[in-house]
Each structure stands twice: as C-alpha cells, then as structure tokens.
C-alpha cells in the first residue's frame, strides 16, 4: 500500500485525492463487461459523500432550475467540479491498469490483463473537454445511440441518484425496436449493465464505436435479477473529448 501511495504521489503529485479516500468506501471495484471489448464499470467510484457533493455542485449551476430543462452541455473549460471528476477518473483508471495488477501481467487464466484505457487516451490533455449532464425523471431515458463521431474515443459516464439498467446492442443489429422483434434470435445480443449511484462507465474502442447504448425507463423495462428497479430522479455526467479539427 505504501508503494502504491508513493507511486500515486509521483504520478499525480501531493494533492492526490487517494490519501483521503472515504473509509466507508475505500476501494472502487472495476468490472470488465466481458461481452463488449472496451467496456468497463467501476462500482463505488464516488463515495456517498462525494456523490452528494457532486449532485449539489451540479444543481448549484442552476441548469435545471426550470422543470423543462433536463440537459446541459459545456465545451472547453469545464467547471471545477468536473475537472476534479476528470482527475479522479484518470487516477482510478491508472490505479487499476498500472498499479493493482499492471497490464501485461499474466492473469489466472493465462491471458494478459486488458487495459481500461490505452495510454494515449489516458494521458491526453485535457482528458475531457466536453460535458453533458442529463437529468432524468422517472420513466425518462435515452434511446439507443452511438455517441457522435466528433468526439474522440474514451468516454466516461458517472451515474448519480437512481440506479438504472443501460442496454448495449451491436451497431449492425439495428436499433432497439429491431432487437425487440428478434428477441429470440441467437445472434442478437443485448447486454444489460446495472449502473448504481456513484458508478463510472468507461467506453472505448468497440464499446464506443460498435455498440449502441440506451436507457429505457418505461415501466416494466428496468429489470435487474428478476426485479423491477425503483425509479427516482437520475443524474448522469458524460465526459468526452472533442476531436481536433486541423
């Protein structure tokens, strides 16, 4: 552990947050979504305390003061709390990819450990320069899409307040309507991922370009382990980097 701390200090400097990790929630746990290359989920990325402070910071922006407003976008200079979030993302990815069990190390099944983000993405500056905050009321979601090509590879989504199931479908299989018709088709893959409050999704490579993601919160469609999820307000923060135009 001391070695980890030292390494973090070297890479991220004295101000590294890892020193004051919430003792209630000390270790974020990463899960690779096996069916989809480049899709990773970090549960417990933000401690409950940190989640509340990010929600307050988002609401303090005043973007959602009117009921009709449910999305805010920022380009370029991001608010301080979003810059902090970006640093925490870089640190959490770095810790998992290079410290806990470095990539290229041989895993128990004889393979090599895949990385969450390739280094050219992890170390680009800035890591993110575009922000979308979505506020969803119960029943509201987002239809199946691939994020626009004007954004680079390597996208982060932080979930807050209410759990939901995000479904991934391969691009060539068409939208969710078609998938619905072909529910029993053996080639049709619809991969559900449970996004709990405080979790972080990282999409890169195939997950970013070859899979659509969607959240359908219509009644009866938010099922996890045979139970329908309770729906409340949900806030998501999507962080991306605009492609350079020469």
Ligand X SMILES: O=C(O)CCC(=O)C(=O)O
What's the DSSP call for residue 96?
A: I
Q: Which is nearer to ligand X, 30 or 211 (CB)?
A: 211
Rounded Cα–Cα distance for residues 47 and 53 (Å): 10
Query: Phi and psi for 56 in degrees, rounded to 5?
Result: -60, -45
Binding mask 53-92 for ligand X (x = CB under 6 A): ----------------------------------------
Residue number, 8 or 41, with CB nearest to ligand X = 41
Residue 227 burial (CB count, 10 A) = 8
**Cβ-Cβ contacts under 8 Å for 81 (sequence gap 6 or more):** 53, 54, 57, 58
Contacting ligand X within 143-162 (CB under 6 A)? 147, 157
Q: Which one of 32-40, 143-151, 188-196, 215-223 is the stretch in contact with Fe ion (CB under 5 A)?
A: 143-151
For position 213 contacting ligand X by CB under 6 A, the verdict is yes
Interface pick for ligand X out of 51, 130, 134, 204 (rule CB under 6 A):
134
- Contact letters for ligand X, residues 12-51 (x by CB under 6 A): ----------------------------------------
How far is Cα 241 from Cα 61, in angstroms, rounded to an integer?
21
**What is the distance of C-alpha 81 from the center of its chain?**
16
130 is an interface residue for ligand X by CB under 6 A: no
């Amino acid at each position: 552990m001391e070695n980890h701390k030292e390494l973090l200090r070297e890479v991220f400097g004295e101000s590294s947050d890892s020193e004051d990790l919430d003792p209630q929630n000390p270790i974020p746990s990463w899960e690779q979504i096996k069916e989809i290359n480049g899709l990773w989920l970090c549960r417990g990325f933000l401690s409950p305390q940190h989640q509340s402070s990010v929600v307050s910071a988002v609401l303090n922006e005043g973007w959602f003061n009117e009921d009709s407003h449910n999305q805010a976008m920022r380009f370029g200079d991001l608010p301080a709390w979003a810059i902090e979030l970006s640093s925490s993302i870089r640190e959490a990815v770095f810790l998992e990819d290079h410290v806990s069990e470095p990539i290229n190390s041989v895993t128990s099944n004889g393979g090599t450990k895949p990385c969450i983000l390739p280094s050219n993405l992890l170390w680009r500056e800035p890591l993110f320069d575009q922000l979308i905050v979505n506020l969803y009321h119960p029943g509201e979601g987002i239809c199946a899409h691939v994020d626009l090509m004007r954004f680079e590879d390597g996208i982060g989504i932080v979930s807050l307040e209410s759990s939901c199931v995000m479904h991934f479908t391969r691009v060539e299989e068409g939208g969710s309507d078609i998938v619905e018709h072909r529910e029993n088709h053996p080639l049709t893959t619809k991969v559900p991922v449970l996004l709990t409050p405080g979790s972080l999704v990282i999409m890169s490579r195939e997950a970013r370009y070859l899979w659509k993601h969607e959240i359908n919160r219509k009644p009866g469609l938010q099922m996890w382990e045979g139970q329908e999820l309770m729906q409340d307000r949900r806030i998501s923060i999507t962080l991306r980097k605009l492609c350079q135009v020469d």
